[in-house]
Structure 1
Amino acid sequence: MSTDVEHEKRALRAELRERRQLLSDAQRATAASGIREQLDALIEAHSAESISCFLSAMTEPGTREFVAAAVQRGIRVLLPVTRADGLLDWAVADDTDETSEGLFGLPEPTGEVLGPIAVNDVDLMIIPAAAVDSTGMRLGWGRGYFDKTIGSMEKCPPVYAVIYDSEVLESLPREVHDQPVTGIVTPTRTLTLSPSRP
């Protein structure tokens, strides 16, 4: 049975999705450039040698430039591969930009697939989101992949969600399974919101 929180989340996601679709190509390109700068600085600040990230879809803040540059610098980048059972497999990013279409029509890597526990070795996780509030609560797109992944990790590294500046909200509806993030990365800033997990 649907709850009020689920309805609120659904309405908010629809509004955020619509806002993203209204962005121009120039706005998207500027955002991608800003995201790359912020993420490069974040990796530096954490001395991260191995990270997880995602391949941005057309309406998402662009991460592809960042991923390609990180791989060229010798950073190990794991990219998520969706599974029908609600878990994520991972593939190591390489210097090709070949992608395939995942379960939900989103771009996914084509390299060798590693199991769900491969992500346990990363120094930093960079994940997608629809919005994040001032306490670090993240609103995803409703499939629960990243909440499950983060919630099941024994020793979770810092987790940063990538969103547009307008998607940093005062508060978000939350459910028991929702996992907070350490911080957010937007095209203009990086904010640390909640303490890293033990």
Structure 2
Amino acid sequence: MSTDIEQEKRALRAELRERRQLLSDAQRAAAASGIHDQLDALVDAHSAASISCFLSATTEPGTRAFVTAAVQRGIRVLLPVTRADGLLDWAVADEEGDVAEGLFGLPEPTGEVLGPIAVNDVDLMIIPAAAVDLTGMRLGWGRGYFDKTIGSMEKCPPVYAVIYDSEVLDSLPREVHDQPVTGVVTPTRTLTLSPARH
């Protein structure tokens, strides 16, 4: 494992995290509204009856209104629950949307927890990212949860990462374990980047 690549990723994550923290409340609200519209259209385009998504933290593009609305539309939404062993459990989102602080201080659902293989049944995965490049390579936040999940799935559905417009980059450093995504959803557009992945 190249330490140069690790250092490059670390520096890039720090820069992206700082950029996200500088956004105003108004910018965040506008982004969340755009994300909601884009994700609704993506779900419809895939005729998805069951999806996985995530509960956005303060600095992430907002997904919570979308999750609530999807549940109200009758879509089954699985939300990730982090485990100490590096795997993800899943919980079914409900209309109450009760949230607790997870392992890394991130928001997680409080409902009944299902095991890691529960996600194998979804039609579409919507995951967090720090950035994605034009080949579909995703830079996560360094813990590897989603790379492990996607890499272990027998039949992986389309995977879209939710990021801000400025986080679609020309290229990203990559390591062997890094998993590409099908595309990205930003507040203004949805891009399919590596359709051949599935």
TM class, shorter-length: over 0.9
2:190 paired with 1:193: no
Q: Is the 8 A contact 1:81 1:108 kept in 2?
A: yes
Deviation by residue 1:76-100 (Cα, 9 ceiling, x = unmatched): 0000000000000000000013101
Task: Look up the match of 2:120.
Answer: 120
Task: Look up the match of 1:141.
Answer: 141
Task: Look up the match of 2:173.
Answer: 173
Structure 1: gaps spanning 5 or more residues: none
Task: Look up the match of 1:45.
Answer: 45
2:99 paired with 1:70: no
Could you tell me how far apart the structure 2 residues matched to 1:175 and 1:37 are? 33
Q: Is the 8 A contact 1:136 1:181 kept in 2?
A: yes
Q: Is the 8 A contact 1:157 1:197 kept in 2?
A: no
- CA positional deviation for 1:196: 4.9
Deviation by residue 1:148-196 (Cα, 9 ceiling, x = unmatched): 0000000000000000000000000000000000000000000000015
Flag as ranges the 4+ runs of structure 1 deviating above 4 A: none
Distance 1:166 1:118, change over 3 A: same
Q: Secondary structure at the match of 2:166?
A: helix
Could you tell me how far apart the structure 2 residues matched to 1:39 and 1:181 are? 15
Counterpart of 1:170, as a letter, is D
TM-score, normalisation: structure 1: 0.99
Deviation by residue 1:99-148 (Cα, 9 ceiling, x = unmatched): 01100000000000000000000000000000000000000000000000
Counterpart of 1:66, as a letter, is F
Could you tell me how far apart the structure 2 residues matched to 1:196 and 1:173 are? 21
Q: Secondary structure at the match of 1:89?
A: strand
Structure 2: gaps spanning 5 or more residues: none
TM-score, normalisation: structure 2: 0.99
Counterpart of 1:53, as a letter, is C
2:28 paired with 1:28: yes
Could you tell me how far apart the structure 1 residues matched to 2:109 and 2:21 are? 24
Could you tell me how far apart the structure 2 residues matched to 1:27 and 1:127 are? 21
Q: Secondary structure at the match of 2:60?
A: coil
